[in-house]
Every structure is written in C-alpha cells, then in structure tokens.
Amino acid sequence: MAGSKDVTFDPWDPAFLADPYPAYAELRARGRVIRYEATDQWLLPHHADVSALLRDRRLGRTYQHRYGHEEFGRTAPPPEHEPFHTLNDHGMLDLEPPDHTRIRRLVSKAFTPRTVERLKPYVHDLADELVGKLVEAGGGDLLTDVAEPLPVAVIAEMLGIPEADRDRLRPWSADICGMYELNPSEESAAKAVRASVEFSEYLRELIAARRKEPGEDLISGLIAAHDEDDDRLTEQEMISTAVLLLNAGHEATVNATVNGWWALLRNPDQLAALRADHSLVPSAIEELMRYDTPLQLFERWVLDDIEIDGTTIPKGSEIAMLFGSANHDPAVFTDPGRLDLTREDNPHISFSAGIHYCIGAPLARIELSASMTALLRRAPTLTLAAEPKRKPNFVIRGLEGLRVEMG
Ligand code: HEM
C-alpha cells in the first residue's frame, strides 16, 4: 500500500535497502520532483527527467567553477575535511568544464576502445584463474574470490600499482567512498580524510618514481600526456585522477557482479536460460545492471534556476537523481520489476549520461562479461550456499558477501 512502512523512501531503513524498488514506484506516482527534507534535496525519480537533467548544463557536479560558497548560499566544508576535498575536487568526476574537458581529454586517450579491447585476453585469463580456484575449493565467497580481485587487479595493472601494494587499495577506496553516501557521519568523514591523506601520499611517491623511471603504465602515460594545446595535469590533478580511476575502476564493478549474481540466483528460470545459451551474456549484463542498479543516486548542484513540472528549483539547491528508480520506470521499461535477460530495448542509465558518462563503461563490460562467462563455463552447477547480507549503504549498493557452492 502506498505510504506503508515497506514502501517508504528511507535510505537508512534496512527494509528499504533490502528492496528499494517499491518505494521508488511510490515516489514516481507522487510526482516528477519531490522535496526531501532529510537531505535538503529535490528527488527526481523518473527516467525522462534524470536522462534530460544529466545533459543539462544548468546543473553541475560542482558549483565552485562559477560561485563562491557564500554566494551560492552554502558553507565551505570544515577545514578538517580538507584532505578529502582537495583529493576529490581535482578529479574529473567533480569538475565541470573547462577543467573537466581538459582532464577527460587526456585520460580518454588511455581508454580508447582499442586500448581497452587489448586488455580482453588478460581479463579473461584472470577471470578463468579466479573462477578455477573457486571451483577447485568447491565454492567460497563470490565477492572476495572473484568479484573483487578481478577489477582491482585490472585497474591496478593499468595504473602500474606494484602487486605487493594492491591490498591497500580496497580499504582506502571503501573509506573514501563512505563520503558519497547521504549525510555521512563524522566517523565516516574522519575515515575518508585519513584514507585521502594516505592514498595521496602513496601516489605522490609512486608518481615521483615513475617520473624518474617511466613504464608502460597509465601513470607514466598521464605524466607524459599533453594534447595539442600542451595541456598537462598538475601534480594534484594527477594524484586525484589516479585515485578516481583506482576507486571508480573497481567499486561499482564489484557490486554489479555480486548484485547481478544474487539476482540470477533468485531467478532460477533466467539463470537456466543463460546457462543454456551463453550468447545471452551481453544482454544479461545490461539487464542485471538495470535490474539492481549498482549506483543508486547521483547529485547535481542547481547553477541556474530550473523548472520541472511547474516547480521552480532555485539556484543553490541540490537535486538527487534516483538511478535505481529511473531504471525501473514503466514509462520506459516494460514490466520493470521482471528480470528479463533477453530484454532488447534497454536504455538503462547505470553508466550515467552527458559529460560525466562513465569513461570506464567499455572496460566494466569486458570485466563483467569475463567473470560471467568463466562462471557459466567452469561453474555450471553453482548454487547459493547462504542468504547474503546487504551492505548498509544506499548510494553504493552492494552485498557483504555472496557464499556459493558447487551443487
Ligand atoms: C559496473 C561498473 C561501473 C558503473 C556502474 C559505473 C558508473 C558510473 C557513473 C554512473 C558515472 C557518472 C556519475 C555521474 O554522472 O555523476 C561514472 C563516471 C566515471 N567512471 Fe564509472 N562505472 C563503472 C565502472 C568504471 C570503471 C571500470 C572505470 C575505470 C576506469 C570507471 C571510471 C569512471 C570515471 C573516471 C568516471 C568519471 C567520468 C567523468 O566525470 O567524466 N568506471 N561511472
């Protein structure tokens, strides 16, 4: 029933986190734009609006390229959070043009379809090896045995992070990502600040080493990179870019893998169809990313007044675009609550749209396809060993683990 406990939008309620999609349906029925006092934001639950707003230049991931904090009606973050913001604010994800354009152009050179395509055999071999070990052990945790190590190794390899240091990446990334949740606690902020300091220091040293002795890796590439206008990355931009690539380069892929397999295991008819026909892998990956969206919400600042459905959202406001809701909007997706691996018309927005469209989408698709193919081929009897627990996060939607066994 609309408005009952189990369908209320409440990002801190475990019942909502267990299945946010009924609450989204209720939000969509309420309107196109909904004021949400708990986070001082305007919620946007419809696909058409989210899709249009992602491309709307009256909105920005930052406002600092146009306004000072006071001028924008906001307060500067507390000085003790400074290391996090210095790191975050110099990465392309939190920049707008012209800085965003300059940095994205330089980084894009490393993410051309051809470069990424060249990684395919390495990614598939690694997926095979990881899945092979899982099968030999008779099962294990799909999260820690396959979903995590695969994208972490790939992005670490691309950036040339020495193997001995790779275990440090996950905890740093997890602590920094705590700041992307709604209303982060002081404890989360303190963790993010500490991780920002340590991660930045680590990369500063690595960059210095690559300056002296360049390799084939992306960090060496970023040091050397300059386009026709001789644009270069500053030292801080280089550190922020490396951290962004390392974090964004695995967090969502890890969650897409486990959310996806958990959805398959809950929908045995779909899993059986996939096992019977591996040519469904590409459409299965798109459908799983839609069905249980790994990144549920993205925010934008309102740089100039906008009007949606008769409501003026004034400059200085913050909007929250509900990707999970947009991906379940029946105006775009037939029977959105049904997992349909053969779905053909699937304009999900899990990789965003507009200028911040995920630069790593082709790589993510290769990784998801590699682990799925390896699991289908080498673990055809894989079943669930224990009911998984959801992580208590909303924005970055994932599981604590996914115990599986060979049936
Ligand atoms: C399933 C996996 C992934 C998902 C769902 C995902 C999703 C997203 C989304 C939604 C955005 C844009 C956010 C916004 O509009 O505010 C984004 C941006 C970005 N992603 Fe991904 N991503 C994934 C994998 C990757 C990988 C493997 C990389 C590797 C390099 C990566 C690197 C980036 C970067 C650098 C940006 C910033 C782009 C910009 O601001 O121009 N992502 N991603």
pLDDT of residue 298 exceeding 90, the answer is yes
pLDDT of residue 7 exceeding 90, the answer is no
Confidence at residue 5, expressed as pLDDT on a 0 to 100 scale: 46
- The model's pTM is 0.95
- Among 150, 246, 255, 358, residue to substitute to test ligand 1 (most atoms within 8 Å of Cβ): 358
Using CA atoms, how far apart are residues 102 and 104, in angstroms rounded to an integer? 6
pLDDT of residue 228 exceeding 60, the answer is no
Confidence at residue 3, expressed as pLDDT on a 0 to 100 scale: 39
Using one digit for the tens of pLDDT, what is the confidence trace for 191-206?
A: 999 999 999 999 999 9
Which letter, b or e, does each residue of 148-172 get, where b requires 16 or more Cβ atoms within 10 Å of its Cβ?
A: bbbbbbbbbbbbbbeeeebeebbeb
Query: Which ligand 1 atom sits nearest the alpha carbon of residue 111?
Result: 30
Closest CA to 150 of 316, 334, 371: 371
Instruction: Please provide the size of the chain in residues.
Output: 407
Under DSSP, is residue 180 helix (H, G, I), strand (E, B) or coil?
helix
Q: How much of the chain, in percent, has pLDDT values that exceed 90? A: 89
Confidence at residue 11, expressed as pLDDT on a 0 to 100 scale: 96
Using CA atoms, how far apart are residues 344 and 136, in angstroms rounded to an integer? 36
pLDDT of residue 175 exceeding 90, the answer is yes
Give me 173's structure tokens: 């990334």
Confidence at residue 229, expressed as pLDDT on a 0 to 100 scale: 56
pLDDT of residue 269 exceeding 90, the answer is yes
CA nearest ligand 1 atom 16, residue: 298
pLDDT of residue 322 exceeding 50, the answer is yes
CA nearest ligand 1 atom 40, residue: 93
State the distance from the centre of ligand 1 to the C-alpha of 385, rounded, in angstroms: 31
How confident is residue 114, by pLDDT bands cut at 50, 70 and 90?
Answer: confident
Superfamily of domain 14-406: Cytochrome P450 (1.10.630.10)
Query: Any residues with CB less than 8 A from the CB of 182 and at least 6 apart, and which?
Result: 11, 38, 39, 297, 320, 394, 395
CA nearest ligand 1 atom 17, residue: 358
Using one digit for the tens of pLDDT, what is the confidence trace for 22-77?
A: 999 999 999 999 999 999 999 999 999 999 999 999 999 999 999 999 999 999 99
Query: Which ligand 1 atom sits nearest the alpha carbon of residue 294?
Result: 5
Q: Which is more confidently placed, 308 or 183?
A: 308
Using one digit for the tens of pLDDT, what is the confidence trace for 116-125?
A: 999 999 999 9
3-state helix, strand, coil in the chain (%, to 5): 55, 10, 35
Confidence at residue 407, expressed as pLDDT on a 0 to 100 scale: 81
Name the average pLDDT for the chain. 94
41-45, 213-217, 260-264: range with lowest mean pLDDT = 213-217
Q: How much of the chain, in percent, has pLDDT values that exceed 70? A: 97
Query: Any residues with CB less than 8 A from the CB of 321 and at least 6 apart, and which?
Result: 44, 49, 50, 53, 54, 297, 298, 299, 300
Three-state secondary structure string covering 205-261: HHHHHHHHCCCCCHHHHHHHCCCCCCCCCCHHHHHHHHHHHHHHCCHHHHHHHHHHH
Query: Which ligand 1 atom sits nearest the alpha carbon of residue 95?
Result: 40
How confident is residue 6, by pLDDT bands cut at 50, 70 and 90?
Answer: low
Handedness of CA 406, 143, 371, 255 (dihedral sign): positive
CA nearest ligand 1 atom 9, residue: 351
pLDDT of residue 255 exceeding 90, the answer is yes
Confidence at residue 69, expressed as pLDDT on a 0 to 100 scale: 96
Query: Which ligand 1 atom sits nearest the alpha carbon of residue 250?
Result: 27
Report which DSSP code applies to 387. Answer: P
Confidence at residue 232, expressed as pLDDT on a 0 to 100 scale: 80
State the distance from the centre of ligand 1 to the C-alpha of 406, rounded, in angstroms: 33
CA nearest ligand 1 atom 23, residue: 252
Using CA atoms, how far apart are residues 93 and 248, in angstroms rounded to an integer? 10
With contact defined as beta carbons under 8 Å apart, do 43 and 34 qualify? yes
How confident is residue 221, by pLDDT bands cut at 50, 70 and 90?
Answer: confident
- Mean pLDDT across 343-364: 97
Q: Which residues line ligand 1 (CB under 6 A)?
A: 61, 92-93, 104, 155, 244-245, 248-249, 252-253, 256, 294-295, 298, 350-352, 356, 358-360, 363-364
State the distance from the centre of ligand 1 to the C-alpha of 351, rounded, in angstroms: 6
Query: Which ligand 1 atom sits nearest the alpha carbon of residue 93?
Result: 40
Query: Which ligand 1 atom sits nearest the alpha carbon of residue 241?
Result: 35
Query: Which ligand 1 atom sits nearest the alpha carbon of residue 299?
Result: 16
7-11, 18-22, 44-48: range with lowest mean pLDDT = 7-11
Closest CA to 351 of 96, 93, 59, 155: 93
State the distance from the centre of ligand 1 to the C-alpha of 160, rounded, in angstroms: 20
Preceding amide of 98 cis, omega within 30:
yes
State the distance from the centre of ligand 1 to the C-alpha of 176, rounded, in angstroms: 15
- Mean pLDDT across 343-352: 97
Query: Any residues with CB less than 8 A from the CB of 308 and at least 6 apart, and which?
Result: 32, 33, 44, 49
State the distance from the centre of ligand 1 to the C-alpha of 357, rounded, in angstroms: 7
Angle at which helices 235-248 and 99-108 cross, to 10°:
60
How confident is residue 13, by pLDDT bands cut at 50, 70 and 90?
Answer: very high
pLDDT of residue 225 exceeding 90, the answer is no
